[in-house]
Amino acid sequence: MKQQLVVRLFKAFVAASAIAILAGCASGAHREGMAAAPLASTKKLPHTVSVTAAGGQETGAMDSSNVSNADLKAAIEDSITRSNLFRNVIQGRGGDYDLAVTVTQLEKPIFGGAFTVTVEAGWSLVRTSDKSVVLRKAIKTSHTAEFSDSLVGTTRLRLAVEGAVRKNITEGLQTIAALPI
Amino acid sequence: MRRTLKLAAAALLLAVLTTGCAVNKATATVDPSARLDTIRSVHVKPYANDERGTDKVIVDNLRARGYQVSTGKEPAGSVDALVTYVDKWFWDITMYMLELTIQIRDPKTDYPIATGYSMHTSLTRKSPPDMVDEVLGNIIKEGKGK
């Protein structure tokens, strides 16, 4: 009788551990989720641009959702292409402008129902012909993923990270669109 | 049978508890245009949610490195750089500093010219002075490589 109880407890423990491990497996923010919607501005710059991203982190197996440099770069490039803000996005060096975006802060909650994530990134736009800095700005944005967005905590956190980055990209591109270049 | 079950349970418990307990990260990013070697005076702005005096640890570390350091909400005079930070603490038997991010900013534009980040989970936890020293050390080291 007592042995059966021990076996049942053990099975329950194994099941609970499996759920805990699976629920704790986070994935990094997806580039599609971070890409901004086309800008309201109809400005089309007659220049090409090269994009670099830094300050991001890969998401480890037991980590919470992070933003990788490769996905951030791709999301910015997708956003530029969607909005037609620049004539073309150039891979590597060789664009008329170099856009460098560096994540300097990613504030994430550890527990909670509604997750609010804040991201700060430094946006720098340099004209390659004379190396003049035409934009240097810190942009801070937040996004809250509600319990209704996803019941799974790790997914909710990823959605919050993606939302905060998406808003950051939107604000960054709006700032560039307003520049007299 | 019972003994085997106990051993298996203990092993599983250990696996569940330890896999997430030894994550270490230490990174630093410095803007290509930044000249950290020209910075002499800095102002440390306390983080609004700092309840454990991390600002004082940062001030002490910077002074020990030879910088002229002021602290408070806003600098009284002109400084070469602003220092901001965000610390995150966690509980595991005792409270410990899980993450620390320090930013060096242009005082005129608030633009972050350098950032350092360290994360050490419970089993490899570091004291606040060691965390601060690691983050600032990595920023300075990265700046010298530019």
- Average pLDDT, consecutive stretches of 10 residues, N- to C-terminus, chain B (146 residues): 66 42 81 89 94 96 97 92 95 93 94 94 93 97 82
Q: What are phi and psi of A117, to 5 degrees?
A: -115, 135
Summarize pLDDT for A100-137 with one digit per residue, the tens.
999 999 998 877 889 999 999 999 999 999 999 999 99
How many Å apart are CA B72 and CA B60, to the nearest integer? 14
- The residue count of chain B comes to 146
Architecture of the domain defined by A2-177: 3-Layer(aba) Sandwich (3.40)
Asked if the B23-144 domain carries CATH number 3.10.50, the reply is no
Residues A66, A157 contacting (CB under 8 angstroms): no
The pLDDT > 90 percentage for chain A reads 56
**Measuring CA to CA, which residue among B14, B23, B37 is closest to residue B139?**
B37
Q: Which residues face A122 on adjacent strands?
A: A102, A138
What pLDDT is recorded for position B21? 45
pLDDT band at A24 (very low <50, low <70, confident <90, very high): low
What integer best gives the mean pLDDT of chain A? Answer: 86
Describe the strand order of the beta sheet including A132-145 as a list of residue ranges. Answer: A86-90, A45-54, A97-107, A115-127, A132-145
Interface test mutation site (partner B, options A17, A57, A63, A104, max chain B beta carbons within 10 A) = A104
Ranges of each domain in chain B: 23-144
How many Å apart are CA B73 and CA B57, to the nearest integer? 16
Asked whether the predicted pLDDT for residue A23 surpasses 50, the reply is no
What pLDDT is recorded for position A75? 96
| B105–A contact, CB cutoff 8 A | yes
Tell me the two tokens of residue B97: 């500093």
| B115–A contact, CB cutoff 8 A | yes
pLDDT band at A12 (very low <50, low <70, confident <90, very high): low
What pLDDT is recorded for position B8? 64
| A134–B contact, CB cutoff 8 A | no
Q: Which residue has the higher pLDDT, B1 or A161?
A: A161
What are the CA-CA distances from residue B74 to residues B43, B71, B104 (Å)? 8, 8, 15
pLDDT band at A141 (very low <50, low <70, confident <90, very high): very high
Tell me what the mean pLDDT of segment A54-74 comes to. Answer: 86
Residue among B19, B29, B101 whose CB faces A102 most closely = B29
Distance from CA of B65 to the nearest CA of A (A): 23
Distance from CA of A1 to the nearest CA of B (A): 12
DSSP B37: G
Look at A57 and B110 and tell me if their CB atoms are within 8 Å.
no
| A104–B contact, CB cutoff 8 A | yes
What pLDDT is recorded for position A7? 67
What pLDDT is recorded for position B119? 92
Look at A104 and B115 and tell me if their CB atoms are within 8 Å.
yes
Ranges of each domain in chain A: 2-177
Distance from CA of A145 to the nearest CA of B (A): 20
Look at B2 and A10 and tell me if their CB atoms are within 8 Å.
no
Look at A110 and B90 and tell me if their CB atoms are within 8 Å.
yes
User: Is the predicted ipTM greater than 0.90, yes or no?
Assistant: no
Look at A24 and B23 and tell me if their CB atoms are within 8 Å.
no
Tell me the two tokens of residue A160: 């919050």
How many Å apart are CA A164 and CA A108, to the nearest integer? 11
Residues of B in contact with A107 (CB under 8 A): 86
Summarize pLDDT for A78-101 with one digit per residue, the tens.
999 999 999 999 998 889 999 999
Tell me the two tokens of residue A7: 């076996």
